[in-house]
Amino acid sequence: MGQLGDVKPLARERRVVLKKDRQDADLNQRARREAAVEETARELNPLSGEYVELVDPWDPLEFKRDGVQNGVYRNLRLGKYQVDARLDLHRYTVEMARRAVLEFVRDCVEADVRCALITHGKGEGRKQPALLKSCVNNWLPQLQEVLAFHSAQKQHGGLGATYVLLRKSERKRQENLEQHQRRNR
């Protein structure tokens, strides 16, 4: 073994223990928590609650996804389909209405409702006119279960209500497929 000569121990630097600013850590943790809660809420209810383009109380609401036949849409617009479920949003706050619309649409699909009616009012003469009407107009296209919607006929609430055409549930789609296969045999 070789000899170690002229070896000097390394000089140790004095270390300073840094204390994290407790207030910054709390703020950071709080911000992360709020973001997580917000993300969870968005996952539970995908309807955006941010900016909503306002519609006039007297404007009709109309929307049709690609693939919806014009005749089907015309019948919806003219109120020719039986309304199997109704939701009345009068006296609801925007947040209450947002939750109610999402639950209503999902419940309708689950119960095989194809045509529903949402009454939102025109919001005429209000400080912020047609707010719920504008929100419904913004939310419904965000839901894949909604194929089309249109302002209702006078007997169903006119411009203060909207017909909603919904997708078939997976169960109903399967039943139709089986029925068509039996016919073709």
Higher-confidence residue of 50 and 5: namely 5
Confidence (pLDDT) at 153 = 97
Q: Tell me, what CATH number does 90's domain have?
A: 3.30.1370.110
Among the ranges given (102-116, 142-156, 163-177), the one the predictor scored with the smallest mean pLDDT = 163-177
19 part of a folded domain: no
Whether 16 is covered by a domain: the verdict is no
The answer to whether residue 91 sits within a structural domain is: yes
* pLDDT at position 40 over 80: no
On average, the pLDDT of the chain sits at: 84
Asked whether residue 72 is domain-assigned, the answer is yes
- What confidence tier does 46 reach under pLDDT thresholds 50, 70, 90? low
- The domain total for the chain is 1
Does residue 180 fall inside a structural domain? no
Bridge partners of 121, per DSSP, are: none
Position 12 confidence tier, pLDDT thresholds 50, 70, 90: confident
DSSP 4: P
Q: Are 140 and 101 in contact (CB under 8 A)?
A: yes
| Joined tokens for residue 180 | 């068509």
- Give a yes or no: residue 70 inside a domain: yes
* Domain membership flag for residue 185: no
Question: Which residues on adjacent β-strands are paired with residue 165?
Answer: 115, 148
**Residue 13 domain-assigned (yes or no):** no
- Residue 47: exposure state from Cβ atoms within 10 A (0-12, 13-18, ≥19): middle
- Can you tell me the distance from the alpha carbon of 23 to that of 33, in angstroms, rounded to the nearest whole number? 15
Greater pLDDT, 149 or 180: 149
Residue span of the structural domain in which 155 resides: 62-174
